[in-house]
Amino acid sequence: MNQQSPRLPDSPMIDLQGVTKEFLKPSGEVHTVLRNINLRVAKGEFCSIVGPTGCGKSTTLSLIAGFEAPSLGKVQIKGEKLEGINSRASCVFQTENAFPWKTVIDNVSLGLRLNGTSKNDAFQEARRWIEKVGLKGFEGHYPHQLSGGMRKRVALAQCLITQPEILLMDESFSALDVHTRHLMENELLKIWEETSASVFFITHDLEEAIALSDRVIVLTAGPAATIKGDYRINLERPRNVAEIRFDKQFAELHEQIWNDLRDEVMVSYASANNA
Amino acid sequence: MQVQTTLNTQEEIETRKKEMRIRASKIKIRNLSLQIIVFIAIFGSWEFFSDKNIIDPFFFSSPSSIVKQIVEWVIEGTSQGPLYVHFVVSFEETVIAFVIGVILGVIAGYALGMNDLLAVIFGPYIQMLNALPRVVLAPIFIIWFGLGMPSKVALGVTLTFFIVFFNAFQGVREVDKNLLNNARLLGANKRQLAQHVIIPSALTWILSSLHSSFGFALVGAVVGEFIGSTKGLGFLIAQAQGAFNTTGVFAGMVLLSVTALAANWAVSKLETRFIAWRHVRQ
Ligand SMILES: Nc1ncnc2c1ncn2[C@@H]1O[C@H](COP(=O)(O)OP(=O)(O)OP(=O)(O)O)[C@@H](O)[C@H]1O
Ligand SMILES: [Mg+2]
C-alpha cells in the first residue's frame, strides 16, 4: 500500500518537479537516467531513498546539490529555482570528505573560513563541533591518522558546522562495520534532532533507511528510473537504530517496502545479466 | 606477590626490547658490511686490474688516479682555471634552468589542467615538442644565445619544463571530484577552490617531478657545455676528452653525480616540508 505524503507547506525545502536527467553516452546515444521525478522533501524531514544499483540515486543527489542541472523539469529549493551550487546544502560522501592535507580542525572549520569567519571564531566553533562528534583531542591529527569511523565524524562535523538547511548523504556509512555504523547512525539522529535540517539519505540498506527516516522513497530500476513507492515511517522518536529493528511495526514496514524493492532489484539484476 | 609479578614482566619486557634492538642492529651491520664488500669488490678489482695492466689504464683509468685527479683539481685548479669556477657555472646554469622550467611548467600545467579549451588548443603542440629529442635544440640555442650561460639555461628549461608541465597538468586533472564538490558546497569560490583543494592536491605530483627534473636541468647544462662553451663541468669533461685524459673524464663524472645527489637530497627536504601531511605518522 502506497501512502500519500501529507500536504506540505507551500514551498518545501526540496522540490523536484518533473525532473528528467539524460547523459550523452560516448557512443552518441542519449542515456536517460531519471524520468519524470516529482519529489518534495519538507523542512526538517528525514527522507531516505533506496533502489537497485545504478538506478540514479547519486544522480538525484547531484541535482539537488547543484553539481548537475536537470535535462527537463526543475529543481526548487525553498521555492526558488536552483541555479548552480546549492548553498543551503552540504554533503557527506561515501568515500572521503576530509581534505588529506588539512588537520581535523582545519577540515572542520573550513566551511566557516570560506565564508570569511575569522580564524579565531572558526576554530572556537570547530572545537565545539569536534567535541560534539566525539573527537576531542584529535584536532591536530591528519585524516590518514584516523580510523574510518573517525573520518566519518570529521565529515559530519565539517558538513554541519555551517548549519546547512539540507544535509545530503550518499551511502555515507556503507563502508563502516556494523557496530560503528549503528553508533554513527544514532549520533546522526541525535544531532539532526537538534537542528531543523532536511536530510536526503541514500542507502543500499533498507533497514538503515527505515530505522533513520520519516520517509522512504523507492526508485525503479534504471534506465529511466522513476519513483515507485513513497512510504511514511511513523516509528516513534527518539529511536535507537540498533534496537528498533526488533520492533513489530518495523518488521511490517520492512516487508511492505521490500516487496516493492525486490521486484526492482530483480529487474536490475536481470538486465545486468543480459547486458 | 603483585609487585613481584610486575617486576618480572617488566624485566621480561626489558630483555625482549634488548633482544629486538640487538636484532635490528645486527641487520644494520649485515647490510652495511655487504655494501662495503660490494664496494671493495667493484673498485678494488678495477684498481687491481688497471694496476696490473690487465685493462688498459689509458682507457679505463683507476679509482685512485680519479681521486688523485679530483684532489689535484681542488687544490691546484684545472688547466682551464680553478675548479670551483666551473662548478659554480654549471651549478648556476642548472639552478636557473630548473627554477625557470619549474615555474613555467607549473603555470602552464595549471592553466591547461583547469581550462579544457586551452588544453584542446595547445595540447597537440606540447605533445609534438615533447616528442622531439630536445638535445638536438642545443646547437640552435648556441647559435641564438651564444656560448655563454643563456644557451645552457635555455636547453635546461626545455628539458625540465615538460616533466613539470605533465605532472602539474595531471595533478590538476586528478583532483578528487568529491573533494572538489565538497569544497564547492562548503562555499568555496574559484580562488578558494584553487587554494584549498587544487593546488595542495597537485603539489604532491609536482614535487615528485622535481627529482627527475633537476636531473634533466643538469643534463641540459652539461650537454650545452659539451657542444660549445668556455666554462663548466661539461666543458671540463670535453677538454679532458680532447686531451685523451680518461681520468679527467671520470673525475668530471664523479663531480656531476655528487652534484645530482646533493640536489636530490635538497628536493627531498623540500618535499617533506611541503607535503608534511603525508609524512606525519603517529
Ligand atoms: N556523468 C555521467 N555521465 C554519464 N552517465 C552517468 C553520469 N553519471 C551517472 N551516469 C549514469 O547514470 C546511471 C545512474 O548512476 P548513479 O550513480 O546515479 O546510480 P546510483 O543509483 O547512485 O548507483 P549506486 O547505488 O551503485 O551508487 C548509471 O547508469 C551511470 O552510468
Ligand atoms: Mg551512488
Q: What is the pLDDT of residue B134?
A: 86
Quick one: A176 and A148 in the same domain? no
Per-residue pLDDT tens over the stretch B30-83: 999 999 999 999 999 999 999 998 888 888 999 999 999 999 999 988 888 898
Residues A99, A177: Cα–Cα separation, whole Å:
23
Total domain count, chain A: 2
Domain boundary among A104, A138, A163: A163
Is ligand 1 within 6 A of the CB of residue A73?
A: no
Quick one: A125 and A79 in the same domain? no
Ramachandran area for residue A216 (φ above 0: left; ψ -120 to 50: alpha; else beta): beta
Grouping H, G, I as helix, E, B as strand and the rest as coil, residue A237 is coil
Counting ligands in written order, the one closest to the CA of A33 is 1
Residue B219 alpha carbon to ligand 2 centre in Å? 49
C-alpha cell at B31: 647490510
Grouping H, G, I as helix, E, B as strand and the rest as coil, residue A273 is helix
Residue A143 alpha carbon to ligand 2 centre in Å? 23
In one-letter notation, the amino acid at residue A193 is: E
Beta strands A166-170 and A198-202 are parallel
Per-window interface: B 154-183 vs A, CB < 8 A? 176, 178-179, 181-183
The minimum CA-CA distance between B177 and chain A, rounded to whole Å, is 10
Beta strands A30-41 and A14-24 are antiparallel
Residue A238 alpha carbon to ligand 2 centre in Å? 28
- Select the residue of B187, B277, B282 nearest A87 (Cβ to Cβ): B187
Cβ of B185 within 8 Å of Cβ of A65? The answer is: yes
pLDDT of B22 strictly over 60: yes
Q: Assess if residue A6 is contained within a domain.
A: no
Residues A220, A230: Cα–Cα separation, whole Å:
12
- Select the residue of B176, B188, B277 nearest A114 (Cβ to Cβ): B188
Quick one: A172 and A146 in the same domain? no
Please count the residue pairs, one from chain A and one from chain B, whose beta carbons lie less than 8 angstroms apart: 65
CATH code where residue A82 lies:
3.40.50.300
Residues B12, A274: Cα–Cα separation, whole Å:
64
Q: Are A154 and A104 in contact (CB under 8 A)?
A: yes
- Quote the ipTM score: 0.89
Is ligand 1 within 6 A of the CB of residue A33?
A: yes
Quick one: A68 and A126 in the same domain? no
Is ligand 1 within 6 A of the CB of residue A23?
A: yes
Residues B186, B179: Cα–Cα separation, whole Å:
10
Quick one: A25 and A62 in the same domain? yes
Is ligand 1 within 6 A of the CB of residue A52?
A: no
Cβ of A97 within 8 Å of Cβ of B182? The answer is: yes
Residue A227 alpha carbon to ligand 2 centre in Å? 16
Residues A67, A75: Cα–Cα separation, whole Å:
12
Taking the alpha carbons at both ends of chain B, their separation in whole angstroms is 36
Q: How confident is the model at residue A230 (pLDDT cuts 50, 70, 90)?
A: very high
The answer to whether B201 contacts chain A (CB < 8 Å) is yes
Q: Could you list the residue range(s) of the whole structural domain that residue A148 is in?
A: 96-163
Quick one: A73 and A111 in the same domain? no
The minimum CA-CA distance between A181 and chain B, rounded to whole Å, is 21
Average pLDDT, chain B: 89
Domain boundary among A132, A148, A163: A163
Quick one: A183 and A265 in the same domain? yes
Q: Assess if residue A83 is contained within a domain.
A: yes
User: Which of B189, B166, B195, B193 lies closest to B177, judged by CA?
Assistant: B193
- Select the residue of A90, A95, A103 nearest B178 (Cβ to Cβ): A95
pTM (2 d.p.)? 0.80
In one-letter notation, the amino acid at residue A62 is: S
Cβ of B277 within 8 Å of Cβ of A142? The answer is: yes
Q: Assess if residue A5 is contained within a domain.
A: no
Q: What is the pLDDT of residue A4?
A: 45
Q: Are B253 and B237 in contact (CB under 8 A)?
A: yes
Question: Relative to the CA of A21, which ligand 1 atom is closest?
Answer: 12
Q: Assess if residue A4 is contained within a domain.
A: no
Per-window interface: A 109-138 vs B, CB < 8 A? 110-111, 114-115
Asked, as a colleague might, if the bond just before A26 is cis with ω within 30 of 0, I would say: no
Q: Assess if residue A1 is contained within a domain.
A: no
Is ligand 1 within 6 A of the CB of residue A58?
A: yes
C-alpha cell at B34: 655487504
Cβ of A114 within 8 Å of Cβ of B197? The answer is: no
B6-42: string of b/e by CB count within 10 Å (b at 16+)? eeeeeeeeeeeeeeeeeeeeeeeeeeeeeeeeeeeee
Per-residue pLDDT tens over the stretch A180-201: 899 999 999 999 998 889 999 9
pLDDT of B5 strictly over 90: no
Residues A71, B243: Cα–Cα separation, whole Å:
76
Q: Assess if residue A78 is contained within a domain.
A: yes
Grouping H, G, I as helix, E, B as strand and the rest as coil, residue B133 is coil
Closest C-alpha to ligand 1, atom 5? A23
Sheet of A227-232: strand order equals A89-92, A166-170, A198-202, A46-50, A215-219, A227-232
Residues B43, B27: Cα–Cα separation, whole Å:
24
Residue A170 alpha carbon to ligand 2 centre in Å? 7
For B80-120, the DSSP string reads TB-HHHHHHHHHHHHHHHHHHHHHHHHHHHHHHHH-HHHHH
Per-residue pLDDT tens over the stretch A104-136: 999 999 999 999 999 999 999 999 999 999 999
Q: Assess if residue A117 is contained within a domain.
A: yes
Quick one: A246 and A189 in the same domain? yes
Domain boundary among A129, A163, A197: A163
Quick one: A68 and A183 in the same domain? yes
Name every chain A residue with its beta carbon within 8 A of the beta carbon of B192: 114
Quick one: A148 and A195 in the same domain? no
Q: Assess if residue A249 is contained within a domain.
A: yes
List, in sequence order, the alpha helices (H) in chain B.
2-51, 57-60, 63-76, 83-114, 116-131, 137-145, 149-173, 177-185, 190-193, 199-227, 233-242, 246-274, 276-279
Percent pLDDT > 70 in chain A is: 96
The answer to whether B253 contacts chain A (CB < 8 Å) is no
C-alpha cell at A121: 571564531
Closest C-alpha to ligand 1, atom 8? A59
Quick one: A118 and A184 in the same domain? no
List, in sequence order, the alpha helices (H) in chain A.
57-65, 104-114, 119-132, 148-160, 178-194, 206-212, 248-274
Quick one: A66 and A194 in the same domain? yes
Contacts of residue A96, defined as CB under 8 A and 6 or more positions apart, other chains included, come to A143, A151, A155, B176, B178, B179
The answer to whether A93 contacts chain B (CB < 8 Å) is yes
Closest C-alpha to ligand 1, atom 16? A56
Asked, as a colleague might, if the bond just before A238 is cis with ω within 30 of 0, I would say: yes
Residues A32, A26: Cα–Cα separation, whole Å:
14
Per-residue pLDDT tens over the stretch B234-275: 999 999 999 899 999 999 999 999 888 888 888 888 888 877
